[in-house]
Amino acid sequence: MDLPLLSSPRALILHYFDSRDRDKEMLLALAVPSFISSTTAHSGHLYLINPRPRPPHPRRVSAKSNPTFVPAAHQSRRKCECFDLHNELVPYGEAWAWQKDIVRKKKALIENDQDCPDTLIALQHHPVYTLGTRSSEEFLRFDPKAAPCDVYRTERGGEVTYHGPGQLVMYPIINLRNHKMDLHWYLRSLEDVVIRTLLSTFSIRASRLQGFTGVWKLAAIGIRVSSWITYHGLALNVTTDLTPFQRIVPCGIQDRGVGSLKGLLKENSQSEQRGAPSDDGELIHITYNSLIREFSEVFQLEVCQRSASSSSMLKKEAQLS
Q: Which has the higher per-residue pLDDT, 129 or 64? A: 129
User: What are the strands, taking DSSP E only, across 68-166?
Assistant: 78-90, 118-125, 128-131, 150-153, 161-163
Tens-digit pLDDT profile for residues 72-93: 555 589 999 999 999 999 999 9
pLDDT at site 206: 67
pLDDT at site 315: 57
**Percent of the chain surpassing pLDDT 90:** 52
Which residue in 173, 177, 182 sits closest to 295, CA to CA?
Answer: 173
Instruction: Please give the single-letter amino acid code of residue 46.
Output: L
Q: Give how far Cα 76 sits from Cα of 79, 298, 301, 311, Å.
A: 9, 15, 9, 33
Number of neighbours of residue 44 by Cβ within 10 angstroms: 14
Q: What is the DSSP string of 171-237?
A: EEE-BGGGS-S-HHHHHHHHHHHHHHHHHHHH---EE--TT--S-EEEEEEEEEEETTEEEEEEEEE
Domains of the chain, first to last: 78-319 (3.30.930.10)
The kind and range of the H/E element at 10 are none
State the pLDDT confidence band at 205, using cuts at 50, 70 and 90: confident
Mean pLDDT for the chain overall: 76
Which residue in 281, 261, 314 sits closest to 121, CA to CA?
Answer: 314
Q: Give how far Cα 144 sits from Cα of 50, 95, 138, 141, Å.
A: 41, 22, 10, 9
pTM of the model: 0.76
Q: Give the residue numbers annotated as catalytic, written as ranges.
A: 251
- Cα separation, 153 vs 160, in Å, equals 9
Tens-digit pLDDT profile for residues 233-242: 999 999 999 9
Tens-digit pLDDT profile for residues 256-312: 678 899 998 988 776 565 556 779 999 999 999 999 999 999 999 999 988 765 545
Contacts of 294 (CB under 8 A, 6+ apart): 192, 193, 196, 197, 200
